[in-house]
Amino acid sequence: MGIITKITTQQKNQDRFNVFMDYGKGKGEEFAFSVDSDVLIKFQLKKGMELDDFSFLEIQYQDDIRKAYHLAVNYLARRMRSEKEIKDYLVQKEVDEPVIKEVIYKLTSQKYINDQDYAFAYVRTQANTTDKGTNVVKMELKEKGVSEDILIRALEEFPLEQQIEKAMKLTEKFYQKNAKDSLKVQKQKLEQLLLRKGYTYEIINIAVKETDIEKQDDGEMEAVRFQGEKLHRKYAQLGGYEYQQKMKQALYRKGFTIDLIERFLEEKNADF
C-alpha cells in the first residue's frame, strides 16, 4: 500500500511517465514504476492516489502489454509478419506468454496481422521477385506458422504458367553455363538444381522438354573433347591398353556414350 506523491514525464520518451510513491515506512518519496500514457489515463493515476498491491500488479500488467504492443508494431512497420513471427519476436524479447496472447489478440482485432493476407502477399512477392519454386515457398510459409488450408489457397497466386516460365529460364542459364559437360550429366545436375529451388518433377519435365537446348552430335563431341583433354593430361603417362581403359572409364562416368568416347580416342590416336 502506498500513496502517489509525484508523476513526471520521462525526458527521453514523452509518452512514458515516472510514478513516485510514499510507502509510509519513513523513507519518504521514492521512484515506484513507470507507465505508458494510455495506462496512466486508463487507471486515472494522479498525485495523492492510494494504490494497493493488487492495483499495482494490474497496472504493471497493462503496462507490460503496452510495451510489448509497441515492440510488435515497430516490428511490423518494417514489413508484413505472420502471427508466429510476431510471437517468436516477443519471446525473443523475453515477453511473458500471457502478455503475448493479449498483444496478438489486439493486433488481430486491429487487422495488423492476418495470416491469410500475409500468405497471399508472400507468395506473390516470391513468385515475382525470386527464382524459387512452389515447394520452397510452401516450406517457408510453414516455417512462418501459416496453416495448411491458407497455404494451399495462397499458392494459387503462383500459377502453373509462371512456374514453368521461371523453370525454363533457369534451365536455359544452366545449359549455357555447363556446356562443357555431357548431356547426361547436365540433365542430372539440372534436375538437382531445380529440385533444390523448389520445383516439382512435373514442372521440371515440362521445362526441360520446352527448352530447346538438346545437344547435337557436334555439341556433345565438343564436350567430350573438353573433358577428354583434361583426362588425357592425367593419364598420358600410362601405356596403351591401361591408358585406353582409364580414359573410357572416366569419360563414361562423366555421362558420355561409348560411341562418343571411341570417336574421341580415335582422334587422340591419330594425333600420335
Give the sheet arrangement for strand 16-22, strand by strand. 29-36, 16-22, 2-9, 50-51
Question: Do 243 and 229 have their domain in common?
Answer: yes
What is the distance between the alpha carbons of residues 227 and 230, in angstroms, rounded to a whole number?
A: 5
Question: Do 174 and 203 have their domain in common?
Answer: yes
Q: Is residue 96 part of a domain?
A: no
Which stretch of DSSP H or E encloses residue 49?
Answer: none
With b for 16 or more beta-carbon neighbours within 10 A and e for fewer, the 70-97 pattern comes to ebbeeebeeeebbbbbbbebbeeeebee
Question: Do 152 and 168 have their domain in common?
Answer: no
Check residue 117 and give its pLDDT: 96
Mean pLDDT along residues 154-172 = 93
Question: Do 223 and 200 have their domain in common?
Answer: no
Check residue 213 and give its pLDDT: 56
In terms of pTM, does the model score above 0.85? no
Q: Is residue 263 part of a domain?
A: yes
What is the distance between the alpha carbons of residues 39 and 42, in angstroms, rounded to a whole number?
A: 5
Check residue 57 and give its pLDDT: 93
Q: Are 81 and 75 in contact (CB under 8 A)?
A: yes
CATH of the domain at 225: 1.10.10.10
- The answer to which of 46-55, 125-134, 139-148 has the lowest mean pLDDT is 46-55
Q: Is residue 69 part of a domain?
A: no
Question: Do 201 and 188 have their domain in common?
Answer: yes
Q: Is residue 105 part of a domain?
A: no
Question: Do 206 and 171 have their domain in common?
Answer: yes
Q: Is residue 152 part of a domain?
A: yes
Mean pLDDT along residues 231-239 = 81
Cross-strand pairs, 8: 18
16-22 vs 29-36, strand pairing mode: antiparallel
pLDDT at residue 26 greater than cutoff 90: no
Please count the structural domains in the chain: 3
Which stretch of DSSP H or E encloses residue 51?
Answer: strand 50-51
Question: Do 225 and 255 have their domain in common?
Answer: yes
Q: Is residue 2 part of a domain?
A: no
Check residue 229 and give its pLDDT: 84
Question: Do 144 and 183 have their domain in common?
Answer: no
- The answer to which of 163-167, 176-180, 228-232, 267-271 has the lowest mean pLDDT is 267-271
Q: Is residue 4 part of a domain?
A: no
Question: Do 203 and 229 have their domain in common?
Answer: no
Task: Provide the domain limits for residue 205.
Answer: 160-210
pLDDT at residue 25 greater than cutoff 80: no
Q: Is residue 79 part of a domain?
A: no
